[in-house]
Amino acid sequence: MATNLDSPREEQRARLLDGLAAAIREKGLAGAQLGDIARHARTSRRTFYKHFPDKESAFIELAHVLGEGVQAQVEEVLDPDLPLGEQMDRAVAKYVEVVTADPAVTITFVNPLLTERVMQAQRESAERYARLIMRVVQAATGDDPRIVPISFASAYMATRGIHEAMVRAISGGEDVTQLVPELQVFLRNVTRAESTPRFGS
């Protein structure tokens, strides 16, 4: 998990988040105990409590860090010199690539036992993606008169829909890469990018 580390304390906090992610991969969120987190982070429970009051607080921060990391990688493949449709295709492909690289952690974020605080963190992450889509579409409106600004509601629904479709596929043991062409067409349609053949046609 890439993090900017400006001090030993921040480095220690990052190790704890890495330890939490490792414990989730090993035992799932419910099964991961503070002892597991400390073991993977090569530190102690006492150190954990210097940074976080409880596991839920650490998990919420992990959600923020992971979400920001994924979005940064998605933004890296966007190129304003490309047509909007190609940018949306790149964004979807990179998002699927990054999220499916750690399926055990990805599935954790749809655990039915998640608290309201965790779900709020998820909503905030989806909102950041929605605003990114809005910015990319807005920037493309001057190059193609067929493209119009997308509303926040539409961008948010697209973001959540793509993520939920991926998580459902991961949970079912499906090959998520097979979804990429359909997700790309879906996002092109939502953003009114230049048309492409519909999936399956």
- What integer is the mean pLDDT of 122-151? 91
Note every long-range contact of 108-115, with CB atoms under 8 Å and residues 24 or more positions apart, other chains counting. 108/24, 108/28, 108/29, 109/63, 109/167, 110/164, 110/167, 110/171, 111/29, 111/30, 113/29, 113/30, 115/56
Read off the pLDDT of residues 108-129 as tens digits, 9 standing for 90 and up.
877 767 788 888 988 999 999 9
Domains and CATH numbers, the chain: 1-52 (1.10.10.60), 55-191 (1.10.357.10)
CB neighbours of residue 172 within 10 Å: 8
Assess contact for 43 and 91: CB atoms under 8 A: no
pLDDT digits (tens, 9 = 90+) for 167-183: 889 888 899 999 999 99
Q: pLDDT tens digit string along 51-84? A: 999 999 999 999 999 999 999 999 999 999 999 9
Tokens describing residue 63:
């959600």
Cα separation, 43 vs 37, in Å, equals: 9
Using CA atoms, how far apart are residues 28 and 110, in angstroms rounded to an integer?
12
